[in-house]
Amino acid sequence: MNPREQKSDETPSRGATADAIAVGGGLAGSAFALELARHGKSAMIFERMRGPHHKVCGEFLSDRTQTLLRYLGIDVDALGGSPVETLCLANGAKRTSAELPFKAIGISRLLLDETVLTAAERAGATVYRATSVERLEDCGGRVRVQTARATFECRAAALASGKHNIRGLPRPDGPMVGFKMHLRPTDAACTALIGSVHLIAFAGGYLGLCMVEDGTLSIAWIINSQILQLIGTSWATQSSYFAKQSPIFDELTAGAAPAWEKPLAVSGLPYGFMRSAAIAPTIYPVGDQLAVIPSFSGDGTALALASGIAAAQSILKCEGALDFQRRMLANYKPQFQRAAALDWVIADPRLRNVGMAGARLFPSMVTMLVSATRLRGLDGLISSTEART
Ligand SMILES: Cc1cc2nc3c(=O)[nH]c(=O)nc-3n(C[C@H](O)[C@H](O)[C@H](O)COP(=O)(O)OP(=O)(O)OC[C@H]3O[C@@H](n4cnc5c(N)ncnc54)[C@H](O)[C@@H]3O)c2cc1C
């Protein structure tokens, strides 16, 4: 076991302290701790899982996500992701495609999150795995972080627990359930899948198909919980429901071997959620704890990295959490409004048909809409402090 692994597996001792703590070692929490560590601040990451793990995610990384990873010093090209240049849309038997306005890549979250967490550790952050935070509160200008075994105090904390809520800090529940499954596609399907991301609509939700490293096909979907109750949660019942509605889904997944026994799931997705109320001046909500954009946008990872970095920069310049939240949400607002309007079109069968007809006539309109749902204001973020590579 190398020293890095030893350090990761230790339980934080009662007296352990740091300038800041990240509650969660996903993209937002790791980016937060990494940015602080490389600017000379001490940071601890408390991650509830023992080791690398999968997340419900389409694993499509936009240009924004890649720019932010490079800013953090990650060698994105070395991760061996699958290149994506085309967006294919399918609705029933109809399909069309459009060029993406940027070069995207498909990388599994298993690999990506572990890469960023390890980078944070190399930069000097201390990572404690298998350490679940139970409570987080401000106590007279300091943050108290309580785990199952001990309580810690620090100057500031990032609430970076993603889809999992911490007691006392709820987010609203939405009606959609998210899933992810990995498959080994046939050679013929691989030829059709490589270079493209597929967005396939069905009654009650949509699917995203994207190749990731090692020739694996990643499928993520969201589905209304009432429909899920009728069809069941297994891969067999859900995939046959999708195949009945989408010949293209059937074509791309026929003969593919499931890599897992059952899909990974997350319920109650609060799409459109924006945490505008302050928790405390010392507690910075980041990633999905700050705001949740509809999944089809494929920009959630960019928002997670950007907010983690921005929260760290706020701490470096002594900006309180409420000012940080106001600034971030004002920046997100136009992107969220456009994504919400498109979400509405996708969800309504009649509007979806009209949208599909428009997309087939004017593929450049699709390219434009993809641009419109990208995160803005990165320049200020990544030039406000010097990037180290
Ligand atoms: C169906 C679906 C498809 C998506 N597709 C895409 C896509 O293709 N591209 C894209 O960019 N985005 C996509 N997203 C969005 C993206 O997955 C999220 O926005 C992103 O993962 C948020 O990162 P995060 O760091 O905030 O949270 P997470 O990635 O959820 O990380 C949170 C971490 O905190 C840990 N944790 C939780 N609770 C505790 C606790 N109490 N104590 C300690 N640790 C804790 C967890 O174990 C986890 O490691 C998709 C989302 C869904 C639901």
> What CATH code is carried by the domain that includes residue 264?
3.30.9.100
Residues 300 and 320 in one domain: yes
Contact 324, 284 (CB under 8 A): yes
Give the pLDDT confidence of 116-145 residue by residue, as tens digits: 999 999 999 999 999 999 999 999 999 999
Residues 143 and 205 in one domain: no
**C-alpha 196 – ligand 1 centre gap (Å):** 23
Strand order through the sheet with 283-285: 126-128, 43-46, 20-23, 156-159, 283-285
Write out the residue range of the structural domain in which residue 304 sits.
3-55+109-171+272-347+376-383
Residues 313 and 342 in one domain: yes
Residues 73 and 137 in one domain: no
Structural domain contains residue 36 = yes
Residues 139 and 179 in one domain: no
| Mean pLDDT confidence for 352-369 | 90
Give the count of beta carbons closer than 10 Å to the beta carbon of residue 362.
Answer: 13
Q: To 10 degrees, what angle do helices 363-372 and 321-347 make?
A: 160
| Mean pLDDT confidence for 301-314 | 98
Q: Is the dihedral of CA 64, 69, 73, 79 positive or negative?
A: negative
Three-state SS across 70-107?
A: HHCCCCHHHHCCEEEEEEEEEECCEEEEEEEEEEEEEC
Q: What are phi and psi of 149, to 5 degrees?
A: -105, -25
**C-alpha 51 – ligand 1 centre gap (Å):** 15
Give the pLDDT confidence of 206-218 residue by residue, as tens digits: 999 999 999 999 9
Question: Residue 309's domain is classified under what CATH number?
Answer: 3.50.50.60
Residue nearest to atom 53 of ligand 1 (CA): 178
Q: Is the dihedral of CA 36, 288, 231, 240 positive or negative?
A: negative
Give the pLDDT confidence of 51-67 residue by residue, as tens digits: 999 999 999 999 999 99
Cα end-to-end distance, the chain, whole Å:
27
Say how many domains are in the chain. 2
Residue nearest to atom 39 of ligand 1 (CA): 161
Q: What is the DSSP letter of 12?
A: P
Residue nearest to atom 8 of ligand 1 (CA): 58
This prediction's pTM:
0.95
Question: Ligand 1 site: residues with CB under 6 angstroms?
Answer: 23-29, 46-49, 55-60, 65, 132-133, 160-164, 166, 178, 208, 220, 222, 266, 269, 287-288, 295, 298-302, 304
Domain boundary among 269, 293, 325: 269
Residues 192 and 307 in one domain: no
Residues 262 and 209 in one domain: yes
Instruction: Write out the DSSP string of 138-183.
Output: EETTEEEEEESS-EEEESEEEE--TTSPPTT---PPPSEEEEEEEE
Structural domain contains residue 370 = no
Residues 50 and 65 in one domain: no
Q: Which of 34, 48, 136 to mutate to test the pocket of ligand 1 (most atoms within 8 A of CB)?
A: 48
Query: So what's the pLDDT on residue 389?
Result: 37
Query: So what's the pLDDT on residue 149?
Result: 87
Structural domain contains residue 354 = no
Distance (Å, rounded) from C-alpha 98 to C-alpha 103? Answer: 13
Token representation of residue 122:
């190399």
Q: Which of 49, 152, 161 to mutate to test the pocket of ligand 1 (most atoms within 8 A of CB)?
A: 161
